[in-house]
Amino acid sequence: MRAQLVHLFAKEFRKRKKKSALITFAIAWGTLSILLLMSFGRGLGNAFRISFKGLGDNLIMVYRGQTSKDYQGLPKGRRIMIYPGDIALLSALIPEIGLISPESNDYFTITGGGRETNRNVCGVGPGFGVMRSMIAERGGRFINEEDERSARRVAFIGWNVAANLFGGENPVGRTIVVNRVPFTVVGVMKKKLQSSAYEGFDADHVYIPHATFSRIHTQLFIDRIHIQPKRPEDNQVVERRIRQILGRKYRFDPEDDYALGIWNTIEEVEVAGRVFKGIEIFLALIGGLTLLIGAVGVTNLMYALVKERTREIGIKMALGAKRRHIVLQFLLETAFIFSKGTFWGAAIAYTIVRLTRLVPISYEITGIQTYLLRPIFSLDILVVFLVVLGTLVFLSGIFPALRASRLNPIEALRYE
Amino acid sequence: MIEMKDIRKVYQMGKVSLEALKGISLRVEPGEFVSIMGPSGSGKSTLMNIIGCLDTPTGGSYFLEEKNVAGFNFDQLSSIRNQKIGFVFQNFNLLPYATAYENVELPMLFNGKPGKKRRQRVLELLEMVGLVDRQAHRPTELSGGEQQRVAIARALANDPSLILADEPTGNIDSKTGQEIMGLFVELQRQGRTILMVTHDMTIAAYSERTIRLLDGHLVEARQ
């Protein structure tokens, strides 16, 4: 095809600005709404994953429980406690475990920075921070192995506690007093999204080494064990092994679901992940159907464009235009309108997504805004969208183009 | 140049069939200037459309330069129209958004003539019809006579041997009409074959031979 011919087509196209602007607008609008729909849908799923990770990253939590089945001559209704020794036992017997940490907690009066507050103080192991997605603000750190081994009096505090006691000042290196025992603050938790919690959100807690906790508290048993499997897919195996091992030790039926409380967040995330994938697919489906309606509209407008130019088509045919010249002209026009429309639609959608992400979100409440204000404009969404839209536009362009090419030249020449 | 034998054209309109041409046999020699006359509905336009390869006959044979084009498909006929035939219409049929230059260029775009030769040819043709200085004007900026001259230049773009003119002076005043006819005479002098449909006896007088159509029959061929 000669460049000059394409140039002529372009010239003709410009003459039809008004009608083609309408189609361009329709495509831009469709692109915009569907990309936004999908970006917000994906953002929703992502915000959920992040906020769930705020509780824990691939986490299995083990609680004390009460038996609900008779076992080996023991009656049901027995309380099952867990003890610090279980940590070593489980990590020795279950090779699939990556990280493990005890957790015990109680409320204490805390003073620091000249202020006083009542907070949940948790004794935890060094792996706890990683498992619970706790990252220290710059200049600080979480509790480490050495802290635990030497039962150091160090504390890692939630950002609300820091704000409460020290206002805007940096608490790292300062002293807080917990239950009349002084602790050095070694780190402040960076803000994170957290959708699930027990005994309050992490922002309000004070974390100290578990060994130190045992010294300021009389409790012998531990409240919870946090476990992160090496591979998330091993979560079921690890859960079953915990029941078997602790069942043997404390004499309860491993099949007794109430003897130990186990919160398997990995399984929960997997289920929720499927739900959000489902929502995404549903949104894509709605988008697809909308596009289909749009494609019918574009087809109609293209037919109108063809009809309007019947006479010109006749003239070209009389002068020797072949069918492919006519088809090509209309396909080029459709392609041009399509490119222009999708470019503007995608550009506006991208801008809206970027601007929305600039809106600050609160870490205090896990409100709807957390989920709505972090849309994600990803390349794969755009590519899939362009392929689908491109196919639809091609289909909506090809039929009017074919009709144009099949016009009878004599009738086309007579068309007024 | 043209040899038609027993050409028939039947239009099917629902259940009614209308026979527009009822067995036309016609022979036109190369370099002849023939006018076709006849009342409305006599089949002039149908005959011209078939000769111009815009339509195909229902029956009979049509040889154009020794080729039987009666069985050609659309794209083959397009090539014939593009290479062998130049059309001049009563209402000019210029593309309204294109300049005089671009209108003349159009037939060459469809056969892929290289840019330089194309440009040379367009200017040569505009020169011939005396419109070089108006090459950048659109049809709406040209008078009827000028438009028809652009159309004639366009008809000659690919140097066809046959020119088909359908009432070429129908939409212009008689003085300009005479100028246009002068161009046709010049074209014939160059050796081209010209077939022209007209109602006007004075215009038909420019031709060497007039054939008359009546109700789909060729009734008279006057030398």
Tell me the per-residue pLDDT of A335-371, one tens digit each, with 9 for 90 and over. 888 888 889 999 999 999 999 888 877 665 556 677 7
Q: For residue A14, name the pLDDT band (cuts at 50, 70, 90).
A: confident
The whole-number pLDDT of residue A279 equals 87
Q: Tell which wins on pLDDT, A64 or A393.
A: A64
Cβ neighbours of A319 in B, within 8 Å: 81-82, 87, 106-107, 110, 154
Smallest CA–CA distance, residue B216 to chain A, in Å, is 18
The reply to whether residue B110 touches residue A323, judged by beta carbons under 8 angstroms, is: no
Tokens of A198: 């027990």
Could you give the strand order of the β-sheet that contains B209-214, starting from the edge strand earlier in sequence?
B85-88, B162-166, B193-197, B33-37, B209-214, B217-222
Residue where a domain terminates, one of A268, A302, A335: A268
d(CA B214, CA B71): 26
Q: Tell whether the model's pLDDT for residue A274 goes beyond 60.
A: yes
Residue of A nearest to B53 (CA): A318
Tell me: do A30 and A132 sit in the same domain: no
Tell me: do A290 and A403 sit in the same domain: yes
Domain of A23 in residue numbering reads as 3-54+275-414
> What pLDDT digit, counting tens, does each position of B60-95 carry?
999 998 888 887 888 899 999 999 999 999 889 998
Name the residue with tokens 């089945």: A69
The reply to whether residue B74 touches residue A323, judged by beta carbons under 8 angstroms, is: yes
Tell me: do A373 and A319 sit in the same domain: yes
Listed by number, the residues of chain A in 269-328 with a beta carbon closer than 8 Å to a beta carbon of chain B are 311-312, 314-325
Tell me: do A44 and A151 sit in the same domain: no
Cβ neighbours of B106 in A, within 8 Å: 8, 316, 319
Provide the domain count of chain A. Answer: 2
Query: Backbone dihedral region of B183: left (phi > 0), alpha (psi from -120 to 50 degrees) or beta?
Result: alpha
Q: Tell whether the model's pLDDT for residue A303 goes beyond 80.
A: yes
Residue of B nearest to A6 (CA): B109
Domain B29-59+74-222 falls in which CATH fold? Rossmann fold (3.40.50)
Tell me: do A300 and A370 sit in the same domain: yes
Residue of A nearest to B110 (CA): A321
**Within 13 Å of residue B133, how many CA atoms lie on the same side as its CB?**
1
Residue where a domain terminates, one of A234, A250, A268: A268
How confident is the model over B157-180, as a mean pLDDT?
89
Domain residue spans of chain B = 29-59+74-222
Can you name the residues that pair with A187 across neighbouring β-strands? A156
How confident is the model over A34-46, as a mean pLDDT?
86
Q: Tell whether the model's pLDDT for residue B113 goes beyond 90.
A: no
Cβ neighbours of A314 in B, within 8 Å: 93
Smallest CA–CA distance, residue B223 to chain A, in Å, is 30
Buried b (16+ CB within 10 A) or exposed e, A170-197: ebbebebebeeeebebbbbbebbbbbee
> What pLDDT digit, counting tens, does each position of A228-273 carry?
999 988 889 999 999 999 999 999 999 998 999 898 888 888 888 8
Instruction: With beta carbons less than 8 A apart as the criterion, state whether A27 and A294 touch.
Output: yes
Cβ neighbours of A410 in B, within 8 Å: 49, 54-55
> What pLDDT digit, counting tens, does each position of A152-170 carry?
999 999 999 999 899 888 9
Tell me: do A103 and A223 sit in the same domain: yes
Tell me: do A29 and A72 sit in the same domain: no
Tokens of A237: 């195996």
Tokens of A240: 């079953």
Tally A–B CB contacts below 8 A.
71
The reply to whether residue B98 touches residue A5, judged by beta carbons under 8 angstroms, is: no
The whole-number pLDDT of residue B30 equals 92
The reply to whether residue A318 touches residue B111, judged by beta carbons under 8 angstroms, is: no
**Within 13 Å of residue A105, how many CA atoms lie on the same side as its CB?**
19
Closest CB from A312, A321, A410 relative to B110: A321
Residue where a domain terminates, one of A234, A268, A302: A268
